[in-house]
Structure 1
Amino acid sequence: MHSFPIDSLIPKLKEALMASSGAVLAADPGAGKTTRVPLALMDEVWLQGKKIVMLEPRRLAARAAARYMAASLEEPCGDTVGYRVRNDTCAGPNTRIEVVTEGVLTRMLQRDQALEDTGLIIFDEFHERSLHADLGLALSLQSQQLLRPELRILVMSATLHTGPVSALLGNVPILHSEGRVYPVQTIYSEQRQAARVEERAAAAVRRALAQQPEGDILVFLPGTGEIARTAGYLRSASLPASTVIRPLHGNLPLEEQDHAITPDQQGRRKIVLSTSIAESSLTVQGVRIVIDGGLMRVSRFSPRTGLSRLETVTVSRASADQRRGRAGRLAPGVCYRLWTEEEDRQLAPFSRPEMMDADLSALALELAAWGVRDPQELDWLDVPPGPAFRQGSDVLEQLGALDEAGRLTAHGELLAESGLHPRLGSMIIHGRQRGYGAEACLLAGILSERDVLRKEEGRTEADIRLRMEALCGGGLSGYRLDPGRSAGILAEYRRYQSQFGMGATKLADIRTDAAGLLLAFAYPDRIAKQRSHGKFLLRSGRGAALAELQPLSVEPYLVVAELDDQGTESRIQLAAAIALEQIIESAGAEMRKESTVEWSRDDQAVRARTRTRLGELVLEEKPLARPDAQLVASALADGIRQHGLVLLPWTKPLRQLQQRLEFMHGQDARWPGADDAALLESLSEWLVPHLYGMRNLQELKRVNLKHALESILTWEQQRQLDQEAPTHITVPSGSRIAVDYSEPAAPVLAVRLQELFGLLDTPRIGTQKIPLTLHLLSPAGRPVQVTRDLKHFWSSTYFDVKKDLKGRYPKHYWPDDPFAALPTSRVRPRT
């Protein structure tokens, strides 16, 4: 067996794990850590015969590592060494080393939190910092701390800040191994290029074949679509017969993956077109030339879809260096970077942990299944962001996976067991229960991939049923399917059917009319009701609209699967129509019936209705036959608040009563305020009891406003009101003159001057403290003087006024001595 640089470090690693609960191993690419460390530790005493579980981020790397280790033991895979990945297990009762992918480890921990049959968990390539790796480490640490103190945890990586990881594991030892890397020449593009990465990659392959006489070529591309298109460009370029093109990605059959990573049996130069799957953990034999497109696909949460979706981004410095190192694993090599040196200097040092950008609903589901409601209960390298975690928990509640206390429901247990994104899992589980399993699986495939439908001209319609029909072989004029995405969707469709134990369903038998109902099980928060043509109101209360007039524009209800999430009115990009009966079927438990009794500004009346609501959506509304009288009166009061007290049947005496009350409040703050603002604020106390039996403005005229206003007073205050704020004053002539309280701070008595002859002082109110403001009138009723000191007026100003008025009203009585004169309401006093 060949030796590896890691071999010299194995004794120290064994010592560290013998004395500690774990270790951190930093090993450069080519050190051999993935395949040498598990075999070296397999027979350690502290394992006590238990197995080793090693985590690999990718299925291909997991299978390859297991097969390599089994071959080195001269055993078939599945004996001492095996693997377990999604939908593929090669392990048996005697397996001592089990290589698994991250989701599998989570399932293992959920089924047995103590992992009783495991003595060591290895996290390989931990620098990739996937969400499942972070979660798996957090769960493993708690299992170690609470249930299995003898369980060892080993974290291995090529590019990682080891200090924080060691501290997280309890300050365990850190070991470092140099890799075995030969010199690699790096060649950059001379200038920025606008061409697609497939075209540039194909050109670089032709250049490398011309410049480098030997060695296989490994080309890094972001995804399967780019791989297929690059292969097409190369085949059309008439490559030498001594070359062969081999794609490499996780969805390939095992046989084709083997052809990519092993030497060609006919001795031809391989051109391996790979995703970032070959970046680490996997040695592609024979490679001496790397062509790096500088792009990779990462999982990013999309608010538009509510799902994590693969997004193409620029690689980090660490990833670029890992890729470059693949050219120097076996001999000196060369790396062609399809970007300039200036662009190279702008690369980010590391990729962001997936935890920071991901949809955390799946994480929240796993923690609930673990029995944890708050992520802070676990130890993390990066704690899940609070807002994203709360959003994820809210989604789970709407899906019916969590109850109000945050505990897992029976449906939530099924979702956790499925291992799918909660939205997709919920849709498939409900669909299968209702006989729409195949339809749900096809929709899950469509939602997991970028839009498969293309329109020849203009915008593409948002109806997801068009995609289903196209994938099922239906003819759609003016549209075409993206072949790469179509193949990916159908592969996912078959995988989902297999996972849930469904029999094969012909695509021609798919029923697209179930799309709306099924989407409602995935997106209960995206049910929408039409407001006007093409404009809809989402259950959350937010607006959404279709970009242009299309058949969905006139549907009364939609379920929206994809929004652009821009502005106040999001654009609907993918949706399906749904019938009201289907909404009731999918979200009936969340509907709320409410009786509303409220003022209608349009009708100018109280309207009592029974409404069925789903969030902010009113799904059904009908009149309420016998509304509560108190609620009706309160609603009528709301109408008065909106329009003001002018709706009440005011008369002049009633306004005077209001003003008298306000006068008393001004004299004594213990009296209730009675201006319009105060009365509006206290409507419930003084007016509502008098509104029973009334529902509109016409009936409001019947209210006894005098009794209502007086009801705010005690019996003693009512007595005081008549005494201290009289409605009228009897003047010396015998006339009863109304007091004007329109200015409560200065009440006015407007009276003809002759009627006050003989009155020595100004009349007073309010326990004789407040002098009235006298508006002294001419015989024609016009004001000639305003005073609050009548005595002073008689003794001084009167004579000037008399002189003027006597000339204009010569028949009237103008005595020389007003103090002794007889008052009169006539032209002259009776003798």
Structure 2
Amino acid sequence: MNSLPIQHLFPALQSALASSSQLILQAPTGAGKSTALPLALLDWPQVSGKILMLEPRRMAARNVAHFIAKQRGETIGNTVGFRVRGESKVSANTRLEVVTEGVLTRMIQQDPELSGYELIIFDEIHERHLTTDLGLALALELQSSFRDDLKIIAMSATLAGLPLHGLMPNAVTLESEGRSYPVSIEYRAVGAQQEWLVHMAQVIVTALQQHPQGSLLAFLPGQGEINRLAQQLSTRLDPKEYHIAPLYGSLPAAQQDSAIAPATDGRRNVVLSTNVAESSLTIEGITLVVDSGYKRQASFNPKTGVTRLSLKRISQSSSAQRAGRAGRLCPGHCIRLWGQEDQGRLLQADEPEIVLGDLTSMVLDGAYWGVSALTQLPLLSPPSAANEAVAWSLLTQLQLVDEKRKITAHGRAAYQLGCHPRLAHMLLTAQQWQQADSSTPLLALAAVLAGVIESRSRARRGADISGYLGDARHGESAQLARSYLTRIDGQGRGKGDLAQAISQAHPDDISVLLALAFPDRIAKARGVSGYQLAAGVGVTLNTDDSLSGAPWLVVADFQESQGQSSGRVYLASRLDPACFNDSLKSLVTEHIDCGWDDNQARFYALRQRRVGAVVIDQQPIAQLDAAQIKQAIYGLIRAKGLAMLNLDDKVTQLRQRVALARQYQLAGDWPAMDDEALLADLSTWLGPYLDNVRRLTQLQALDFYSLLHNLLPWDLQQTLAQHLPTHWPMATGTRANIEYEPSGRALLSVRLQEALGMAQSPTLAQGKLVVTMALLSPAQRPLALTADLANFWAGPYLEVKKEMKGRYPKHLWPDDPANTVPTKFTKKKTLSNG
């Protein structure tokens, strides 16, 4: 530990901590920033209070804490401890707590003064997890308000593309050298006809033969690929020589510890890992790295409200981190399963999770903190606006925040549970229902369902969630379920309550509880295996699934895949629609659906009961009133588009001119007249003219030019006529038509002889738009197209004149067109008029 590069920075670090409350430290792999620095801080006089160090991954937090405690000759939980989700090893004596970022945000929310803590260290901040960004934002707000004595250290392997200085402009910045040995890089791209996982197995076997010393670390995108590769390698590697060790986040702690421990019995470790091994985690004895170049990236789709897991290429930054794992102890070797020319095409760095991820939990954090928009927090990157809007909408639907985005009492209680807001709402509502009627153990059943849904080690055996309830008798699902029960009522109830809930679980109770958590995923059957969700999107079940053919479902888990139009259902429950008249009636809304029946050529209206976009039942309305006919017309136009109104060219030109007025920012408040804007605002511009419309022919006969032109106040009408006119006055007296094209081009068509004497092409929109001139022959045939008339006269005109002079000898073809008087007559008539 005393020889690590970070040691050389200790005097500068001590000086910075004495003079500044913010410090940015760049320290590459092997510098010792995650181990030697926090170990030393415990003995520095500049830090007398407790220290929190944040690690982005649970596995790294546990590993780092154990390592530092061992260096001090102590057991974990004494001076050094850790806190991660589901496990805590701290005591009254603990001064250094290694935690995950989610733990920090909850600590700050519970105690906005963070009493007793003097220093917060953010390790591996470049990984940009949601909780990293949020934790740093809350820590900075805490420092600027309640705790100006609080110190913050932000540490990263690289500062490239990381806007830390924007958030911490007064921070002291220090840079340490890393300690790593040279790593040779070899590129072994997958063949065109070869499956990459099979290729990877071959490369690993060959690499172990060619490099007989040290252990091997292989990077794969996920647990599924790890398990398949482990199976392939188990038939090709002698278990007496090689220990194949999977490593991923949902593995039990004992198996994780086994994977990162030194090789024993003379065997070499072959560690098959996700990107959990990219940074802080130290794995003993690694000298070989084989990198698939893939990661599993979660991207939230705001249209469906679900996170899509996609196989993506890693970034250049990530590939450098992975390769560096081979050079921690001695010179190493890294094999990349892509071509060297592909390396430069990789993204420089990974996109931050705040741009891609589901923001529901983060938004609830923000509401609990007191903000109504995440942009009110000092964040490293702005969040996805679409994803944030969906999150606020869901929290409002679940009554966790009100219409003004202020957290409710229900929302505060949900936050305390520490699970996804959907599940928290389900648990709290189940508690309320059970208090009103204790005959059914709804709360314990809700805890079981939450444990099953949240479990990351769940095996797949059909979509029916009732087939997984038994998992909550033991293992991760049971641990989660018991923790929820303890948090919600503080009674520490355990196995007995869960066992009773599992044995007495009724399908109706299961589906109603799931509908509380997933009201937007109530689904009605359509087609053979398809369903429409209340959110408006489609999902499918496997045709051989036990739930296939059920008229109604509640979907707790579905995934979208690249190239698939519908998501695949993985967890669901059969739903009895009778619940819409009873326990789920609060989710039901009534609508009047109006439209046009093509078959009967008439307007119709239906009184519908819906849950979201799904129709529960409907009744026809015999006699439509004027308001319903208007709604029917709006529905018809939105369904078929504005084209069904038969808008003429005059209307099209008006809309194009207004679009150009907006584009070139002519003075005034110009309304949008594009399709999207007009369809969204039919009641404003069209509604007042529909009072007597009863037939399509009447609708299509309306004067749409006047309707739209009247949207412009008088001053804008005059501005439009002046700066974007419909015609251009030629010197000959002709009013030449100007056609405004969708591309934004203004096209003036006129006979060439009438353009004589014009030195330059006309300009519109206060000189911002140059008119393109279509110069025509005397017979109105196209001769030339130019937006630079001066250049045309000086060059291309000579060829036009040579060709046209013989064809049209009676017309003017002057040698100096720019200085010739224009005419719309023949030479003879022009001379006689002269």
User: Is 1:220–1:275's contact at 8 Å kept on the other side of the alignment?
Assistant: yes
- Counterpart in 2 of 1:210? 209
TM-aligned CA deviation for residue 176 of structure 1: 0.7
TM-aligned CA deviation for residue 300 of structure 1: 2.4
TM-aligned CA deviation for residue 43 of structure 1: 4.4
For 1:222, what is the secondary structure of its paired residue? coil
**Does residue 167 of structure 2 align to residue 183 of structure 1?**
no
Looking at structure 2, the residues matched to 498 and 577 of structure 1 have their Cα atoms a distance apart, in angstroms, of 25
1:253-332 equivalent positions in 2, closer than 5 A: 253-302=252-301, 306-308=305-307, 310-332=309-331
User: Is 2:55–2:98's contact at 8 Å kept on the other side of the alignment?
Assistant: yes
Residue type of the alignment partner of 2:70:
A
Looking at structure 1, the residues matched to 405 and 360 of structure 2 have their Cα atoms a distance apart, in angstroms, of 13
Residue type of the alignment partner of 1:225:
G
TM-aligned CA deviation for residue 40 of structure 1: 2.3
TM-aligned CA deviation for residue 449 of structure 1: 6.3
**Does residue 14 of structure 2 align to residue 10 of structure 1?**
no
- Counterpart in 2 of 1:149? 148
User: Is 2:300–2:387's contact at 8 Å kept on the other side of the alignment?
Assistant: no
User: Is 1:597–1:609's contact at 8 Å kept on the other side of the alignment?
Assistant: yes
Looking at structure 2, the residues matched to 498 and 339 of structure 1 have their Cα atoms a distance apart, in angstroms, of 46
For 2:35, what is the secondary structure of its paired residue? helix
Q: Which moved more, 1:591-600 or 1:129-138?
A: 591-600
Looking at structure 1, the residues matched to 26 and 628 of structure 2 have their Cα atoms a distance apart, in angstroms, of 75
User: Is 2:218–2:291's contact at 8 Å kept on the other side of the alignment?
Assistant: yes
1:70-81 equivalent positions in 2, closer than 5 A: 70-81=69-80
Q: Which of the residues 484, 494, 517 maps onto 2:512? A: 517
User: Is 1:127–1:159's contact at 8 Å kept on the other side of the alignment?
Assistant: yes
Q: Which of the residues 553, 562, 569 maps onto 1:558? A: 553
Residue type of the alignment partner of 2:577:
L
- Alpha carbons of 1:621 and 1:6: their partners in 2 closer, same or farther (altered >3 Å)? same
- Counterpart in 2 of 1:22? 22
Residue type of the alignment partner of 1:128:
E
Looking at structure 2, the residues matched to 547 and 268 of structure 1 have their Cα atoms a distance apart, in angstroms, of 44
Q: Which of the residues 586, 589, 597 maps onto 1:589? A: 586
TM-aligned CA deviation for residue 86 of structure 1: 0.5
Residue type of the alignment partner of 1:102:
E
Residue type of the alignment partner of 1:25:
L
1:102-121 equivalent positions in 2, closer than 5 A: 102-121=101-120
For 1:107, what is the secondary structure of its paired residue? helix
1:49-198 equivalent positions in 2, closer than 5 A: 49-161=48-160, 164-189=163-188, 191-192=190-191, 195-198=194-197
Residue type of the alignment partner of 2:133:
D
For 2:34, what is the secondary structure of its paired residue? helix
- How many residues align? The count is 622
- Alpha carbons of 1:319 and 1:541: their partners in 2 closer, same or farther (altered >3 Å)? closer
Looking at structure 1, the residues matched to 299 and 247 of structure 2 have their Cα atoms a distance apart, in angstroms, of 23
- Alpha carbons of 1:421 and 1:285: their partners in 2 closer, same or farther (altered >3 Å)? same
- Alpha carbons of 1:558 and 1:82: their partners in 2 closer, same or farther (altered >3 Å)? same
TM-aligned CA deviation for residue 287 of structure 1: 1.3
TM-aligned CA deviation for residue 366 of structure 1: 0.7
Q: Which moved more, 1:511-520 or 1:120-129?
A: 511-520
- Alpha carbons of 1:550 and 1:177: their partners in 2 closer, same or farther (altered >3 Å)? closer
- Counterpart in 1 of 2:639? none
- Alpha carbons of 1:239 and 1:405: their partners in 2 closer, same or farther (altered >3 Å)? same
- Alpha carbons of 1:617 and 1:295: their partners in 2 closer, same or farther (altered >3 Å)? closer
Q: Which moved more, 1:429-438 or 1:247-256?
A: 429-438
- Alpha carbons of 1:577 and 1:2: their partners in 2 closer, same or farther (altered >3 Å)? same
- Alpha carbons of 1:19 and 1:211: their partners in 2 closer, same or farther (altered >3 Å)? same
**Does residue 487 of structure 2 align to residue 503 of structure 1?**
no
Looking at structure 2, the residues matched to 283 and 450 of structure 1 have their Cα atoms a distance apart, in angstroms, of 24
- 1:215-237 residue CA offsets vs partner (Å, 9 max, x unmatched): 12122222222222222222212
User: Is 1:612–1:620's contact at 8 Å kept on the other side of the alignment?
Assistant: yes
- 1:103-152 residue CA offsets vs partner (Å, 9 max, x unmatched): 11111111112212211111100110011100111111111111111111
- 1:3-54 residue CA offsets vs partner (Å, 9 max, x unmatched): 210000111112122212211100010000001222222344554x321101
**Does residue 478 of structure 2 align to residue 494 of structure 1?**
yes
TM-score (norm 1): 0.66
1:207-606 equivalent positions in 2, closer than 5 A: 207-239=206-238, 241-302=240-301, 306-308=305-307, 310-430=309-429, 435-436=441-442, 437-438=444-445, 441-442=448-449, 445=452, 453=460, 464-465=463-464, 468-469=466-467, 471=468, 492-501=476-485, 503-504=494-495, 505=498, 511-529=506-524, 538-540=533-535, 555-561=550-556, 562=558, 573=569, 575-584=572-581, 587-592=584-589
TM-aligned CA deviation for residue 639 of structure 1: 12
User: Is 2:309–2:560's contact at 8 Å kept on the other side of the alignment?
Assistant: no
Looking at structure 2, the residues matched to 587 and 366 of structure 1 have their Cα atoms a distance apart, in angstroms, of 28
TM-aligned CA deviation for residue 244 of structure 1: 2.0
- Alpha carbons of 1:40 and 1:348: their partners in 2 closer, same or farther (altered >3 Å)? same
- Counterpart in 2 of 1:750? none
TM-aligned CA deviation for residue 292 of structure 1: 1.6
- 1:384-431 residue CA offsets vs partner (Å, 9 max, x unmatched): 122221111001112221122212223322332233232344345545
Looking at structure 1, the residues matched to 296 and 633 of structure 2 have their Cα atoms a distance apart, in angstroms, of 59
For 1:25, what is the secondary structure of its paired residue? strand
- Counterpart in 2 of 1:763? none
Provide the alpha-carbon RMSD of the alignment: 4.2
Looking at structure 1, the residues matched to 551 and 340 of structure 2 have their Cα atoms a distance apart, in angstroms, of 56
Looking at structure 2, the residues matched to 640 and 510 of structure 1 have their Cα atoms a distance apart, in angstroms, of 46
TM-aligned CA deviation for residue 187 of structure 1: 1.8
Share of identical aligned residues, percent? 39
- Alpha carbons of 1:588 and 1:98: their partners in 2 closer, same or farther (altered >3 Å)? same
Looking at structure 1, the residues matched to 18 and 386 of structure 2 have their Cα atoms a distance apart, in angstroms, of 41
- 1:573-604 residue CA offsets vs partner (Å, 9 max, x unmatched): 45543223434555433444689999999999
Looking at structure 2, the residues matched to 120 and 309 of structure 1 have their Cα atoms a distance apart, in angstroms, of 37
User: Is 2:507–2:574's contact at 8 Å kept on the other side of the alignment?
Assistant: no
User: Is 1:217–1:272's contact at 8 Å kept on the other side of the alignment?
Assistant: yes
User: Is 1:427–1:519's contact at 8 Å kept on the other side of the alignment?
Assistant: yes
Looking at structure 1, the residues matched to 605 and 60 of structure 2 have their Cα atoms a distance apart, in angstroms, of 66
User: Is 1:520–1:586's contact at 8 Å kept on the other side of the alignment?
Assistant: no
- Alpha carbons of 1:453 and 1:64: their partners in 2 closer, same or farther (altered >3 Å)? closer
TM-aligned CA deviation for residue 683 of structure 1: 6.6
- Counterpart in 2 of 1:483? none
User: Is 1:599–1:639's contact at 8 Å kept on the other side of the alignment?
Assistant: no
User: Is 2:27–2:157's contact at 8 Å kept on the other side of the alignment?
Assistant: yes
Residue type of the alignment partner of 1:374:
A
Looking at structure 1, the residues matched to 418 and 390 of structure 2 have their Cα atoms a distance apart, in angstroms, of 19
Looking at structure 2, the residues matched to 341 and 135 of structure 1 have their Cα atoms a distance apart, in angstroms, of 37
- 1:510-548 residue CA offsets vs partner (Å, 9 max, x unmatched): 554544323312221233456787776654566777797
TM-aligned CA deviation for residue 75 of structure 1: 1.3
User: Is 1:21–1:150's contact at 8 Å kept on the other side of the alignment?
Assistant: yes
